[in-house]
Amino acid sequence: MAETVAVLGAGSWGTALAIQLARGDQQVRLWGHEPDHVERLSQLRENAEYLPGFSLADNIEPLTSLAEAVSRSPWLLIAIPSKGFRDLLRQLKPLIAMDTVLFWASKGFEIETGRLLHEVLEEELPGHRYGVISGPTFATEVARGTPAAIACAGSNLKATEMFAEMLRGDHFRVYTTDDIVGVELGGALKNVLAIAVGASDGLGFGANTRAALMTRGLSEIMQLGTRLGARRETLMGLAGLGDIILTCTDDQSRNRRFGLAIGQGKSVSQAEIEVGQTVEGLRAARAIYNKTRKLELDLPIIEAVYQVLYEGKDPRQAVRDLESRPQGRE
């Protein structure tokens, strides 16, 4: 049975997810906060700015009115940068019914508080069923319909299975879990690791260094994730290891490209401009570093990324400091 889903966020990822939902015959309302951009979506039936080359099906309706987008939409899928997550929830509060189910594809933490996004939602919209999707997926390839798989975690088993079924397709697999913390953390932490790997490649180091950073970075993600309540199998799955492999090795990743620019000598602001879109790992690095300090965890790669991005440390010196650490057990 087809459902109506409001996709909130008309960037590359929101548009790709709208295309995927439309393949399953869902009625999709694609909301964007920039009227001119949404008007072009409606006229061209294509997201020429962020996801060119893919036509919007007839069952995708671009809208500029948030109230109109969510009215009579029992399902919401939020696909905006995490920094705007709480503000959007506050806008939604007077517009949605208590039985509205909210999922999100946003990755990262709330920087000011260090909270995961499900914690933000529980504060702003208590009582709603909710969930998160994450995994090794680039927007362009999802829009193209190449084979892919993601994880979908939710607070209610029935709602999670229903939403997963809406997203599933011939070439798009969706695996469900109740480990919301694990799926959220995997999506946030891999971005920081992708910056580290990108910077290493930008410095001219080779495949050996890349493999070492990814492996030891995964170890740090496992340490932090399990301390925060994530399950190891989730962090070793699509939302963790799978997304690490994707974002650390392919230049479609904004975070990897950002790291490459840093390694090539660009400043943080120059690297952001070069990427041209939100770099979630830049903001997540600070929130994650603060969490590691509070938990008294020794996570040297995460700390090195923070120092390079926020303390002006030279990337080569960061590498030298990592190399000079005492040898330890695997």
Cα separation, 298 vs 285, in Å, equals 15
* 190 flagged as catalytic: yes
58 belongs to a structural domain: yes
Cα–Cα distance measured from residue 31 to residue 217, given in angstroms and rounded to the nearest whole number: 36
Partners of 76 in beta bridges: 6, 102
What pTM value is reported for the model?
Answer: 0.93
Q: Are residues 119 and 159 in the same domain?
A: yes
Share of the chain above pLDDT 90, in %: 92
Q: What pLDDT shows up at residue 109?
A: 87
Q: Is the dihedral of CA 35, 37, 41, 47 positive or negative?
A: negative
Give pLDDT, residue 108.
84
Tell whether 76 and 204 lie within a shared domain.
no
**Domain range spanning residue 128?**
4-178
Q: Would you list the DSSP string of 161-196?
A: HHHHHHH-BTTEEEEEES-HHHHHHHHHHHHHHHHH
pLDDT at 1: 58
Domain co-membership, 29 together with 149 = yes
In this prediction, residues 272-298 reach a mean pLDDT of 92
Instruction: Return all residues near 207 (Cβ < 8 A) that are at least 6 apart.
Output: none
| pLDDT 10s digits, 188-232 | 999 999 999 999 999 999 999 999 999 999 999 999 999 999 999
Give the model's pLDDT for residue 187: 92
Residue 206 domain-assigned? Answer: yes
Query: Which segments of the chain does DSSP mark as H helices, in order?
Result: 12-23, 35-44, 66-70, 85-92, 117-124, 139-144, 157-167, 180-202, 207-227, 232-235, 243-249, 254-263, 268-275, 280-295, 300-310, 315-323
Model pLDDT for residues 310-329, shown as the tens digit of each residue: 999 999 999 999 989 888 77
The CATH number linked to 110 is: 3.40.50.720
Instruction: Give the per-residue pLDDT at 323.
Output: 87
Residue 169's nearest CA partner among 22, 29, 53, 27 is 22
In a domain, 76, yes or no: yes
Evaluate if residue 6 carries a pLDDT over 70. yes
The one-letter code for the residue type at 152 is: C
- Note whether 123 and 250 are same-domain residues: no
Question: What are the tokens at 95?
Answer: 């517009």
Instruction: Say if 299 falls within a structural domain.
Output: yes
Domain count, the chain: 2
**Structural domain includes residue 60:** yes
Q: Look at residue 93 and tell me if it is in a domain.
A: yes
50's tokens = 């962020």
> What per-residue string of b and e applies to 161-179 under the rule 16 or more CB within 10 Å gives b?
ebbbebbbbeebebeebbb
Same domain, 52 and 161: yes
Are 74 and 3 spatial neighbours (Cβ–Cβ below 8 Å)? yes
Indicate if 258 and 121 belong to the same structural domain: no
Q: In this structure, are 10 and 143 located in the same domain?
A: yes
292 and 153 belong to one structural domain: no
328 within some domain: no
Position 101 confidence tier, pLDDT thresholds 50, 70, 90: very high
Mean pLDDT of 48-53: 96
- Catalytic annotation, pick one of 93, 107, 158, 190: 190
36: confidence class by pLDDT, cuts 50, 70, 90: very high
If pLDDT is split at 50, 70 and 90, which confidence band does 4 have?
A: very high
CATH number of the domain within which 319 lies: 1.10.1040.10
**Average pLDDT score over the chain:** 95
Verify that 38 and 167 share a domain, yes or no: yes
Per-residue pLDDT tens for 158-169?
999 999 999 999
